[in-house]
Amino acid sequence: MASLCYTFSVFFLFLFTFTRLAQSESFIGVNYGQVSDNLPSPPATAKLLQSTAIEKVRLYGADPAIIKALANTGIGIMIGASNGDIPGLASDPNFAKNWINSNLLPAMQNLQNALNSANLGGIKVSTVHSMSLLRQSEPPSSGSFDPSNLDLLKGLLGFNSATGSPFAINPYPYFAYRSDPRPETLAFCLFQPNSGRVDSGTKIKYTNMFDAQVDAVRSALNSIGFGGVEIVVAETGWPYKGESNEVGPSMENAKAYTGNLVGHLRSMVGTPLMPGKSVDTYLFALYDEDLKPGPSSERSFGLFRPDLAMTYDAGLSKTSQTPLTPKTPVNPAPKPDKGTWCVPKAGVSDAQLQANLDYVCGRGSDCSAIQPGGACFEPNTVVLHATYAMNLLYQTDGRNPWNCDFSHTATLTSTNPSYNKCIYPCGST
């Protein structure tokens, strides 16, 4: 993770054999850090990536062996230099600020000009920004940049706008939870059922921290006249272990955050301020980097181990993919012995069921069937409406066990809960 507001990044879009996705689609990428002495070989990594739904890789440096291994895989590459590649930039904040103010934008312009001269104008140049660049982020509609960085930012954003390159950010709900370790904050950060947070400016209810952080950046960009610049998430992740005094790292939390984020991105719901298209996102990270300094959490973000086994199942294998465009499955005839459904556990309170219901329908899922006039509106009870909604999320977000958790209030069943003309979506397992 970057320790400064800026790190150089060159976006190699559509390089090698990678074909650009349709504009209405998005991609899920991964960060491939190399501060480690036990990484698998580049060919082994390339083969691993081909078995996943990962479509792009962000490299920290142009390693020829890795680029060669990925060249014929169809996987896109983004290449960047970290702040540690420029002497003094990572260790001296004053030097870093002066260097960035004087050299960052001219360097980006020179690099883009060189690419254009070589008929490689389709390769875009940008830089990555930490969330500390924001002066205010809550509520999301009030998002604004630190005035001390505004002149530099406007120059960089003018470049982004003119060249069509994205504004890259590093949102980490994990750090938001560390600073506010309440149970309700954890649920909000992990995409789990929660009461939501209403933006006092727009009256929009946010049900997860990721959307809130991204929309805060969107608001900040809009406020200074750069609403047309696209946002890309260059890093986001959650550590699966940490020191005993660290709040948040655990295998359960990492699996919940990454798995639910992947499901959220695939749903194409988008964020409240950018609906209908998920923001392009690079997960952090492909492997642990065992030589990184700091607490053990800094070395525990890897989705895969050095032996290529999954650290945990985040729903990234090709066999667990769900369509990028959400579709409500249709079960033409209830077959109790052919499918699996997600239903509430016995004894769950109406208040918790209502929270589950609000969470599913508030995130953009198609809840029309349990609205007045819908096939499942009657009987009009919280239990039945919540059951339909919880199952809907389970079926459309990948049918993974963690999609039927709801803060431990749900369970899977092979008994079809459909009744009369109310047909519950079903996916065969």
- The set of catalytic residues is 235, 289, 292, 298
Q: How far is CA 300 from the centre of its chain?
A: 18
Round to whole Å and give the CA distance between 324 and 105.
Answer: 35
- What are the strands, taking DSSP E only, across 228-346? 231-233, 270-271, 274-275, 281-283, 341-344
User: Which residue shows structure tokens 């194409």?
Assistant: 268
> Are the C-beta atoms of residues 173 and 210 closer than 8 Å to each other?
yes
What type of residue is 228?
Answer: G
Tokens (6 digits) for 245: 């005094």
Q: What do you get for the CA distance between the two ends of the chain, in Å?
A: 38
CB neighbours (10 Å) of residue 104? 17
How many angstroms separate the CA atoms of 262 and 315, rounded?
A: 7
Report the C-alpha gap between 411 and 340 in whole angstroms: 10
Q: Which two tokens stand for residue 304?
A: 């895969």
Is the distance from CB of 11 to CB of 78 less than 8 angstroms?
yes
Residues 172, 294, 314, 67: is their CA dihedral positive or negative?
positive
**Bridge partner list, 338:** none
Asked if 261 and 205 count as a contact pair (C-beta separation under 8 A), the reply is: no
